[in-house]
Amino acid sequence: MSLLKVEGLGKSFGGVKAVDGISFTLAKGELLALIGPNGAGKSTTFNMVNGQLKADRGSIQLEGHELIGRKPRDIWRLGVGRTFQIAETFESLTVVENVQMALLSNDHRLYNLWRRAAAHRRDEAIALLGQVGMAEQADRPCSELAYGDVKRVELAIAMANNPRLLLMDEPTAGMAPNERNALMALTKKLVTERGMAVLFTEHSMDVVFAYADRMIVLARGRLIAEGKPLEIRDHPKVQEVYFGTGKTFEKHGGQPAAAAPTEAAHG
Ligand code: ADP
Ligand code: MG
């Protein structure tokens, strides 16, 4: 049985069908990439799954629980996690304190108890940081970290809730290619070790082809292709959408260039 089953999901903003009746499934232990040009409806899809946006139609089932209509907090409790950017207010905290905060909120404790509970769950937080290779930097302020390391801490924070499904919307945005690969390799490791499922968006096709088990492709709110990376790479509709955009499939400007469409597939 699928962990996540999305059927006929739709959402419009005014006259714009941001997501127009898409269906897909996600299995336990699967790393599924959601790709598509800017404005394709990727973030809208994510935000319906995590409850930030209410779908107009369709259904989103997590192991048989309908998620549409539930509050984000309830969806989070059911085991749907997502990576958050570390807020500026928490940059003054150290790496390990940020993860301890996440563990505390998972205990449904209040933020203002935090200072009194400073030692609380430190070992557990360090263990989580160990999983993302950040244990040695545990006591540094987050504000001092390199960008790629902040992203790893964000991943540790998302892990604090022990999610069964993790949503990552553009997790590698702003990262250098080697940092992107490191973060996705780490994500893949966590998926394997924890049997977690991940739904992620990513602009770099090199990264998607290297790490995704399966891909779904959106264009103008519709799901135009689904399959394993190699199947998607040669899919005519995908070629059409990304025609002439080069290696990354990024930012389709609506003006097809004269370049050979197959260029997008080479890595
Ligand atoms: P993607 O993440 O694939 O770039 P989005 O899901 O952000 O795409 O957007 C899909 C479409 O919905 C776009 O046309 C966008 O302008 C529109 N859209 C997204 N969010 C809103 C919103 N809150 N209000 C109005 N239109 C929106
Ligand atoms: Mg987006």
Asked if residue 37 has its Cβ within 6 Å of ligand 1, the reply is no
Q: Which ligand is nearest to the CA of 40?
A: 1
* pLDDT of 115 higher than 70: no
Q: What's the pLDDT at 250?
A: 46
From ligand 1's centre to the CA of 176, what distance in Å?
26
Q: What's the pLDDT at 67?
A: 98
From ligand 1's centre to the CA of 251, what distance in Å?
14
Of 84, 6, 2, whose CA–CA distance to 45 is shortest?
6
Contact 33, 233 (CB under 8 A): no
Number of H helices, E strands in the chain: 9, 10
Contact 47, 39 (CB under 8 A): no
Residue 155 three-state SS = helix
Asked if residue 40 has its Cβ within 6 Å of ligand 1, the reply is yes
From ligand 1's centre to the CA of 221, what distance in Å?
9
Query: Can you read off the two tokens belonging to residue 238?
Result: 């995908």
Atom of ligand 1 minimally distant from the CA of 36:
3
- Residue of 19, 44, 199 best suited for mutating to test ligand 1, as the one with most atoms within 8 Å of CB: 44
The closest residue, in CA terms, to atom 7 on ligand 1 is 43
* pLDDT of 83 higher than 90: no
From ligand 2's centre to the CA of 118, what distance in Å?
36
Q: What amino acid occupies position 125?
A: A
pLDDT tens by residue, 126-171: 999 999 999 999 999 999 998 889 989 999 999 988 999 999 988 8
Average confidence score pLDDT of the chain: 84
Alpha-carbon separation of residue 180 from 186, 231, 245 (angstroms): 10, 23, 20
Give the C-alpha separation, 145 to 209, whole Å: 29
**Residue 95 burial by Cβ neighbours in a 10 Å radius (0-12, 13-18, 19+):** buried
* pLDDT of 244 higher than 60: no
Domains and CATH numbers, the chain: 1-79+163-267 (3.40.50.300)
The closest residue, in CA terms, to atom 20 on ligand 1 is 44
User: b or e along 206-239 (b: 16 or more beta carbons within 10 Å of the residue's beta carbon)?
Assistant: bbbbebbbbbbbbbbbbbbbbeebeebbebeebb
Q: Name the band, by pLDDT with cuts 50, 70 and 90, for residue 246.
A: very low
Q: Which residue has the tokens 């006929």?
A: 8
Task: Enter the pTM of the model.
Answer: 0.84
Give the C-alpha separation, 156 to 152, whole Å: 6
Residue 86 three-state SS = coil
pLDDT tens by residue, 176-211: 888 899 999 999 999 998 889 999 998 888 889 999
Cα 260 from chain centroid (whole Å): 31
Asked if residue 36 has its Cβ within 6 Å of ligand 1, the reply is yes
